[in-house]
Amino acid sequence: MTVPDIRALKGREKIVCLTAYTAPMAALLDPHVDLLLVGDSLGMVVHGLPTPTAVTLDMMILHGQAVVRASSHALVVVDLPFGSFEASPEQAYLASVRVLKETGCQAVKIEAGEALAPTIAFLVERGVPVMGHVGLRPQAVHVDGGFRAKGRSDEERARVIAEARAADEAGCFSIVLEGVAETLAREITAGVRAPTVGIGASAACDGQVLVTDDMLGLFEWTPKFVRRYADIRTTINDAVARYAADVRAAAFPGEAEVYRFKPKGS
């Protein structure tokens, strides 16, 4: 999949996207999705951080390299983490060049308030494909006081619409729309040229993304908008419990798992 391929899906076919942070998971997801997103959610999902704001550019590049190595079909997008792009368009460009060169991914993602529109345009004009991200923006968690859905008031609704339009006009090839009501998602999707990819934003969007670990049931708690398609947490717990019991009972390793060599000449 390429950037023009994703753009061309708007109004024709729903876009399928999931997060990936490791090579084994990327290899499993790649045949089934259009987009693999190496999101800064990896800070919380993989590293146990309380918010994504502590994620570094080096962390994103390391995980991006692993995902790109294991994928051959999906378009791979890597998040620019908090602090790596806000200071100036030039800072964002240097960070983006590092990500593209060192990972081999095809695009970067930026949490795009209106103030970042000139930065997005600066990147696009210089050959950096950008996915925007509006609505609930996890990197703004400290300003918002938590992870809160957006669009509850007329003022907030207007702000999200303005963010989406600014990202679209700046040249984003797609826009993640997170944590908004269906009516707002529908209005934004109809009002921008770029395909929207929703997370907690209803089926009114042009596509969907979920954190794969949430979708697979690896965590005890998941957000309201997540549908669990598996219960891998229980599967892992049961498997490890059986392994521990076998080790303690000296039932593992057994004959099938032991190397035995015949003496030479016998």
Within 10 Å of residue 251's Cβ, how many Cβ atoms? 10
The reply to whether 111 sits in an annotated binding site is: yes
> Is 77 strand, coil or helix?
strand
The better pLDDT of the pair 265, 174 is held by 174
The chain-wide mean pLDDT, for the chain, equals 94
pLDDT of res. 139:
66
257 pLDDT above the threshold of 70: yes
Give tens-digit pLDDT for 22-62: 999 999 999 999 999 999 999 999 999 998 999 999 999 99
- The verdict on whether 178 is a catalytic residue reads yes
Q: Does the pLDDT at position 141 exceed 90?
A: no
Q: Alpha-carbon torsion 208, 84, 93, 95, what sign?
A: negative
Report the top-level CATH class of 3-238.
alpha beta
Is 182 one of the annotated binding-site residues? no
pTM: 0.93
34 annotated among ligand-binding-site residues: no
Q: How far apart are CA 120 and CA 7, in angstroms?
A: 17
* Amino acid 136: pLDDT: 84
Lowest mean pLDDT among 44-53, 134-143, 162-171, 201-210: 134-143
* Residue 113 pLDDT level (bands cut at 50, 70, 90): confident
Helices assigned H by DSSP within 192-231: 212-215
**Residue 68 to residues 81, 90, 266: CA-CA distances in angstroms?**
18, 25, 50
Among the listed residues 163, 178, 187, 255, the single catalytic one is: 178
